[in-house]
Chains A and B, each alone.
Chain A
Amino acid sequence: MSDAIRFTLNGEETLYNGNPADRLLDVLRETYKLTGVKCGCKEGECGACSVLMDGELINSCMVALGRCEGSNIVTIEGFSKTEHFQVIDKAYAAVSAVQCGYCIPGMVLATEALLVKTPHPTEEEIRTGLSGNLCRCTGYNAIVKAVQIAAKEGDGLW
């Protein structure tokens, strides 16, 4: 193993030379300037820093960089270039599900992770899928509705 940590970040091969104990959240924001990844608590309790790691939703505040060796990390910045993103974007826009926006990058990736696993989720499955992403603005209804619209409009994509 070389000294650097090697992983794929938003589709690009990346070498990180810092401390393996560094927090992925901090590294994404400070080293790679991916500021769409938000920090809400640094304790794994709010989901604002959610990213996809090998396709699964994780809290980037709860990951040490060393754990990322060989993995594929996608943040909102990378995900926003995908077709899935377009569908989710339109769905959230249609019901004005974005208020302060701070939980949104994490919420979008939670939506993606959910639809990948369950392309046609029930309302209960949606609420479970988003249950780690706190939102203080919306009461969640509009977000749940947006996911339902995305699942319908994106039928076949996931």
Chain B
Amino acid sequence: MGQISGSVVKRDHSTKFSGAAIYVGDYMESDILTGKILHSQKAHAKLIEVKVPELPAGYYYVDRRDVPGDNNVNIVKDDMPVFARETVEYIGEAIGMVCGPDESMVEHILSAIEVVYEDLPVVTDVLKSDTAFFDYTITKGDIDKAFKEADKVYEEVFETGFQDQTYLETQGMMAEPQAEGRVFLHGSLQCPYYVLNAVTRALGLPREKVHIAQDATGGGFGGKEDYPSILGCQVGVAAVATGHKVRCIFGRREDLEFTPKKHPSHNTYKVAVKDGRVTAMDVDVIFNGGAYTTLSAVVLQRGIICANGVYDVPNLHIRGRAIKTNTVPSGAYRGFGGPQTFVSVEMVMDHIARDLGIRPLEFKLKHLVKKGDSTSTSGKYHFDVPIVEMVEELDRICDYRKKREMYAKPQTGRYRRGIGLSMCFHGAGFTGSGERDFIKAVVRLKKSADGMVTILISNTDMGQGLRTIMPKIVAKELDLPLTQIIYEYPDTDFVPDSGPTVASRSTMVVGELLCQAAKRLRAEWQDGEEQMIEEHYKHPEFLIPFSLDDFKGDAYPTYSWLVNVIELEIDTYTGRPQVLGAYGCFDVGTPIDYNIVVGQMEGGFLQSIGYASMEYMTADKTGRIRNNSFSDYIIPTAMDVPNLKVILHTVEYPEGPYGAKGAGELPAVGAPGAYMEAVEQALESVDLHHIPFTAEDVLKSLEEAEKK
């Protein structure tokens, strides 16, 4: 690790630590109206009538009739209305908004509104829906031949559930009418320009009439990639309709129940094995997209590209569909489709290995891709694949192999142990050519006469540390103290569009652009002068062009890698698991700040363990999610995984700043495979097929084993 990796005190530490940082809920002006959404109580129904009681002076009700522009939120496909049209498609869909000065009065009015619905059929099961929002296919090699020649064919179905991002600060946006018909929106968000595009369209305003700023943001994890555009349009419409500042902050129950979360999945794996080797995979990936498309297309793309895991499988047929149901639209969650398919492929590889009588680790390593191999999309792994070394490094700190042997012996008694290992990648940055064709990032550095340098980018810090990382890069290149570099929360009036803060792209792509800009500024530096440097994205030249039509080419320029080990003990009386150790080795390239990167890995790793174990959330047959409070949607506390260890392994990426590549999402991808392998071992090598695997599932599995 070079000098750049040394940790500094985070630039936003002090304001956050003293409670002085301003989140969107912290504006205390007396002229802000509170907005509360009238949510649909039906998963699918025709809206017959909304009976709004007579409103007291100063209170307003707005709905689709008040949308001055297009009543569609610009995300990818623009099918989601700002306020419901003639029908509602999921429980929680926004029908309208009540605004007014006193929150309890707003709530009172909301409860007095009567909505008349005419029920329509509700579909919650992806297997019973006839609408596929997206249907993609990846092919490679000759699948038919491979299956015909196979010694053995395995077929298994894996299911994964919802996972909610559960940022500690719920969704919140505020809109303010300004002079000359301008509208200003700010709040808790990841992508200011996404919100800008959505709001200009909904309000029917030209770009210069709207600007978006980020407030201190209490976590995102993908959850604030699309939803702030939706909520932003809603408060924007309300502000324009009422002529007042309008702020809407979700309650925890609203947030858990009605905002996008990770796509539940149903993945069928058909695997051909010949001479002890996997020769082909025929995979059918089904994601529950929910009621509107939002980000499902791009989540699904990444999901299917990962469907064969880190394994070199010469013959592939992967079909992926995002299915419409009458549940809350699924959206972005750190990992973005990868966690669903990775857990499936890790489990199927375990099961095949066990059936063949080979140790799963040995079996997996035998299939591991290496530099120069082709990817699922017939692109190329251009750089070293460090998994083998990472396995050894991890084995040294946790004795995986020894424990795996030990726990394989028959266990009796109440408590039984298991240990599992998973290996995954995360493709760094946008899938395919998105960066070149859509984002076209621009960054600027502005030097003032007194030598202060301001970073002008639209990327946001929602806790992951960009406000420290980016100044470190610029300061290093300019050889200036960190205090001379300014990087404020972005406002689209002042910053160019350097792209959204998603896809583990910010450090790798935007950081590199800033690095280039800083190099130029240093070369062109003139004391006492104001200077502006601008850099534009350049697509790496070594890439095999990617085509989304046939899923061919380099989907990602490079990959981050992980190996995770989970050791656990199961109480066979209660079914309760206790994680005894969680060990993660992560390669995200050069860490720009060691503490920050380790913090990202630890936090993401724990989320990933939660996904596999305790974070159970489901929609019932009526489309309602009942796990809508912190007592019913269970995320880990400080006491749940006390022994969690992270180590870093570094393979530098030459096109990233100092060798950095994608970091943020990787740790949230891989734990379920390791977790489930450990559970399977503790339960004496039973084959399991879904996550989260709850205490109740453990008891059921034990019961079934007893019957056999």
Direct A–B touching, Cβ under 8 Å: yes
Residues of A within 8 A of B (CB): 29-30, 33-43, 45-46, 48, 75-77, 80, 89, 92-105, 108, 123-124, 126-128, 130-144
Residue among B16, B17, B167, B637 with the highest chain A CB neighbour number at 10 A: B17
- A36 B18 Cβ-Cβ under 8 A: yes
Q: Which residues of A contact B252 (CB under 8 A)?
A: 40-43, 46
Q: Which of B601-624 contact A (CB under 8 A)?
A: 602-607
**Selected A-B contacts with CB under 8 Å, 6 pairs:** A39-B25, A40-B170, A76-B18, A96-B10, A102-B218, A131-B639
- A100 B595 Cβ-Cβ under 8 A: no
- A139 B603 Cβ-Cβ under 8 A: yes
The answer to whether the Cβ of B9 comes within 8 Å of any Cβ in the partner chain is: yes
- B463 A100 Cβ-Cβ under 8 A: yes
> How many Å from the CB of A47 to the closest CB on chain B?
9
The answer to whether the Cβ of B631 comes within 8 Å of any Cβ in the partner chain is: yes
- A77 B19 Cβ-Cβ under 8 A: yes
Nearest-CB residue, chain B, relative to A126: B638
The answer to whether the Cβ of B596 comes within 8 Å of any Cβ in the partner chain is: yes
Residues of B within 8 A of A (CB): 7, 9-10, 12-23, 25-26, 28, 165-170, 216-219, 221, 251-252, 462-465, 593, 595-596, 598-599, 602-607, 629-631, 635, 637-639, 641-642, 644, 646
> How many Å from the CB of B651 to the closest CB on chain A?
23
- B599 A101 Cβ-Cβ under 8 A: no
- A35 B25 Cβ-Cβ under 8 A: yes
Q: Which residues of A contact B605 (CB under 8 A)?
A: 139
- A98 B630 Cβ-Cβ under 8 A: no
Bound complex: CA A103 to CA B635 (Å): 14
- B16 A101 Cβ-Cβ under 8 A: yes
**Given A45-B631, A93-B13, A140-B638, A101 and B216 contact (CB-CB distance below 8 Å):** yes
**Given A96-B10, A134-B168, A134-B635, A35 and B599 contact (CB-CB distance below 8 Å):** no
Our pick among B17, B596, B603, B606 for the contact of A89 (Cβ within 8 Å) is B17
Majority DSSP secondary structure for residues of B touching A:
loop
Q: Which residues of B contact A80 (CB under 8 A)?
A: 18-19
Nearest-CB residue, chain A, relative to B167: A136
Nearest-CB residue, chain A, relative to B595: A96
Bound complex: CA A95 to CA B646 (Å): 14
Residue among B606, B637, B646 with the highest chain A CB neighbour number at 10 A: B637
Bound complex: CA A134 to CA B464 (Å): 17
**Given A41-B252, A134-B635, A102 and B13 contact (CB-CB distance below 8 Å):** no
**Given A48-B168, A135-B168, A98 and B642 contact (CB-CB distance below 8 Å):** no
**Given A38-B169, A45-B630, A46-B630, A127 and B639 contact (CB-CB distance below 8 Å):** yes
Our pick among A33, A45, A124, A144 for the contact of B629 (Cβ within 8 Å) is A45
Nearest-CB residue, chain B, relative to A77: B19
- B599 A142 Cβ-Cβ under 8 A: yes
Bound complex: CA A57 to CA B458 (Å): 39
Q: Which residues of A contact B598 (CB under 8 A)?
A: 142
- A92 B23 Cβ-Cβ under 8 A: no
Q: Which residues of B contact A126 (CB under 8 A)?
A: 638
Q: Which residues of B contact A133 (CB under 8 A)?
A: 638
Bound complex: CA A92 to CA B10 (Å): 10
Nearest-CB residue, chain B, relative to A90: B9
> How many Å from the CB of B430 to the closest CB on chain A?
24
Majority DSSP secondary structure for residues of A touching B:
loop
Q: Which residues of B contact A33 (CB under 8 A)?
A: 28
Bound complex: CA A127 to CA B7 (Å): 25
Q: Which residues of A contact B638 (CB under 8 A)?
A: 126-128, 130-131, 133, 135, 140, 143-144
- A36 B642 Cβ-Cβ under 8 A: no
Nearest-CB residue, chain B, relative to A95: B595
Bound complex: CA A51 to CA B631 (Å): 21
Q: Which residues of B contact A76 (CB under 8 A)?
A: 18-19
- B465 A99 Cβ-Cβ under 8 A: yes
- A136 B7 Cβ-Cβ under 8 A: no
Bound complex: CA A130 to CA B637 (Å): 8
Nearest-CB residue, chain A, relative to B26: A35
**Given A95-B595, A99-B463, A137-B463, A104 and B630 contact (CB-CB distance below 8 Å):** no
Bound complex: CA A104 to CA B23 (Å): 13
Our pick among A48, A99, A104, A130 for the contact of B603 (Cβ within 8 Å) is A99
> How many Å from the CB of B645 to the closest CB on chain A?
8
Q: Which residues of A contact B644 (CB under 8 A)?
A: 139, 141
**Given A43-B629, A102-B219, A103-B168, A92 and B606 contact (CB-CB distance below 8 Å):** no
Our pick among B28, B169, B599 for the contact of A102 (Cβ within 8 Å) is B169
Q: Which residues of A contact B465 (CB under 8 A)?
A: 96, 99
> How many Å from the CB of A89 to the closest CB on chain B?
6
Q: Which residues of A contact B17 (CB under 8 A)?
A: 89, 92-93, 98, 101, 104, 108
Bound complex: CA A156 to CA B542 (Å): 60
- A93 B10 Cβ-Cβ under 8 A: yes
**Given A46-B168, A98-B13, A139 and B606 contact (CB-CB distance below 8 Å):** yes
- B642 A127 Cβ-Cβ under 8 A: yes
**Given A40-B169, A42-B252, A142-B599, A136 and B16 contact (CB-CB distance below 8 Å):** no
- A134 B462 Cβ-Cβ under 8 A: no
Residue among B14, B20, B21, B462 with the highest chain A CB neighbour number at 10 A: B21
- A41 B167 Cβ-Cβ under 8 A: no
Q: Which residues of B contact A131 (CB under 8 A)?
A: 637-639
Q: Which residues of B contact A42 (CB under 8 A)?
A: 251-252
Bound complex: CA A42 to CA B593 (Å): 35
- B593 A136 Cβ-Cβ under 8 A: no
- B169 A100 Cβ-Cβ under 8 A: yes
Bound complex: CA A48 to CA B25 (Å): 14
- A134 B169 Cβ-Cβ under 8 A: no
Our pick among A38, A100, A103, A128 for the contact of B217 (Cβ within 8 Å) is A100
> How many Å from the CB of B106 to the closest CB on chain A?
14
- A41 B21 Cβ-Cβ under 8 A: no
> How many Å from the CB of B221 to the closest CB on chain A?
7
- A37 B168 Cβ-Cβ under 8 A: no
- A134 B599 Cβ-Cβ under 8 A: no
- B462 A100 Cβ-Cβ under 8 A: yes
Bound complex: CA A5 to CA B541 (Å): 70
Residue among A33, A95, A133, A140 with the highest chain B CB neighbour number at 10 A: A140
